[in-house]
Structure 1
Amino acid sequence: MSIFCSDRGIQAVYPCGNTGEFYALTVEEAKQVTTFVTGVAAKRSLVIAGVGYDAQTACDLARHAESCGADGIMVHQPIHPYLLPDGLISYYRQIAEATSLPVLLYIRSEQVTLEVIRETAKLPNVVGVKYAVNHLPSFSRAVQSVEDDLVWICGTAELWAPYFFAAGAEGFTSGMVNVETQRPFELLRALQAGDYPRAMAIWGEVVPFEELRAKYNNGNNVSVVKEAMFQLGLIATNAVRPPIALLTEEERELVGRILRSWGAQS
């Protein structure tokens, strides 16, 4: 899939992201994925490798990403049940200091407070935030109050991208680009140009796909992407790892109808 994305002009690919089932991988598998994607991308696209788990493992993954030629790392939000500001700052600092690569924070909960973002942004190699909390006032406050020069990215894909752009985002991450790249690129160009009527017209075409991904409190996020890739013959199987699961027959049929509406499938 890194070939598919790079050949279609994707500027940055993210091995070991959530759509890549990062938390279902062993540490060794995560390293293998990063090594493979870095080699295949061959600098045609930037490779931003996902790292996470406990701080020591995340540091190990960061060092590995740097050693195999990745261009940056994305730090997943820790899955520890107890998160405190000082602990989160320490967690991010340890990882950032383990590598010379640029670091992108992946924020999925408001437990990563504005205070945490402000302090972590002072680290010299922290360059951006993938913000995946669909609370626009919090996002806007963060963009406006963090003085360091960060790149702010909508982390909840096409469904929320227009609203995050209005609040200060400069880009958005996409799982859909593993399936179809035309509409995500058109949406990005329209948003960058401030052409919101055009952006919302494109947005309307991708909403059914993204809403299906968001079903069950985002439980379908990966399953929909893999099912669409499978139906298009881009991958050999639609298998996913627990605790996520395959789509229902009705949902698989809906994926097919969406693909046909895009002209991606006959």
Structure 2
Amino acid sequence: MNYGEFSKRLETITAITVTPFDETTKAIDWDGVAANVEFLIVGGAEVIVPCGNTSEFYALTLEEAKEETRRVTELAARRAIVMPGIGYSAETAIELGRNAEKAGADCVMIHQPIHPYMTTSGAISYYRKVIEALDIPSVLYVRDPHISDEVLVEVTKLDKCVGVKYAINDLPRFTQTVRTIPAECGIAWICGTAEKWAPFFYNAGARGFTSGLMNVYPELSQAMLRALRTGDWETVWQLWENVVPFENLRAKYNNGNNVVAVKEAMEQLGLRAGVTREPVDPLDEQDKREVTRILKSWGKIT
């Protein structure tokens, strides 16, 4: 594989799937998963991430995560890059990564370790161990501001590290990191905090961004990507103003609404999203009304 060419394909919208859970049993609704993947592909998604945080990765059992990866990869049928999320212990991440390889996924996204006692050298060892154990390339997902920039400097030297999903909203720090890591490393920098932050990160070097909004209003996400690529900043900021209320709602309660706001919007549009699993509760009535107001402002419902 030409890793440099592959990383360039990641400079786009990274669409995170939702995992629909049955309202009574909270079992995965696999028909709903299939409908979600098809919606994303029809909406123009070029990179799809099952087992991301919007997919409620940490609410899935390992077997469910493996099955979601297998099914989404099969459903995508090479129409989009499939980048399953993997994580937990290094050995578990490798197990999930090998499952992704066997399923035919194109690459993996390594969730940042959630261990409460992490050192810089330990994080480097974790990422290196997982990346080197897999044949397909890896993208790092970084969201904890306490993680040292040295981790990225070292891990991005690996050939099979092709991208970084950067979800720390510290633009000077991100800019310095991008400028520190040589272009020869061929890293695809991805804004990990969606459309609200995408214009700012784009100017600092992130040519792609993640999106939960793609599950609701893909046309809006795609329009922002086009405007960013063409330098049409008047359009970028008009679109940004439309996006911000929804992303602010998702960020409420220390991002506690992140997934459930997307699911509520999908359900109000007649799409299959199902409920969330613990520890995420349904939206309260006030926030549900806000979802309705936003969808009306977009002309998605009357």
Task: Give TM-score, length-normalised by structure 1.
Answer: 0.97
User: Does structure 2 conserve the Cα–Cα contact (< 8 Å) formed by 1:157 and 1:175?
Assistant: yes
Cα distance in structure 2, aligned partners of 1:91 and 1:129: 15
Partner of 1:24: 59
User: Does structure 2 conserve the Cα–Cα contact (< 8 Å) formed by 1:84 and 1:111?
Assistant: no
Match of 1:180 among 208, 211, 217: 217
The Cα of 1:236 is off from its aligned counterpart by 5.7
Sequence identity, in percent?
A: 52
Match of 2:81 among 46, 64, 73: 46
Q: Secondary structure of the residue that 1:119 maps to in structure 2?
A: helix
Partner of 2:242: 205
1:244 aligns with 2:280: yes
Q: Which runs of 4+ in 1 moved over 2 A?
A: none
Partner of 1:78: 113
Deviations 1:175-224 (A, max 9, x none): 00011101100111111122222101100011111110011111100010
- CA RMSD across the alignment: 1.0
Cα distance in structure 1, aligned partners of 2:181 and 2:144: 17
User: Does structure 1 conserve the Cα–Cα contact (< 8 Å) formed by 2:44 and 2:222?
Assistant: no
Match of 1:149 among 153, 176, 186: 186
Counterpart mapping for 1:22-171 below 5 A: 22-147=57-182, 148-171=185-208
Partner of 1:218: 255
Cα distance in structure 2, aligned partners of 1:159 and 1:133: 13
Cα separation, partners in 2 of 1:203 and 1:222, compared to 1, 3 Å: same
Q: Could you say which structure has the greater relative contact order, defined with CA pairs below 8 angstroms and 6 or more residues apart?
A: 2
The Cα of 1:17 is off from its aligned counterpart by 0.3
Cα distance in structure 2, aligned partners of 1:236 and 1:190: 29
1:254 aligns with 2:290: yes
Cα distance in structure 1, aligned partners of 2:175 and 2:148: 13
The Cα of 1:111 is off from its aligned counterpart by 2.9
Stretches of structure 2 that go unaligned for 5 or more consecutive residues are: 1-35
Cα distance in structure 1, aligned partners of 2:238 and 2:283: 28
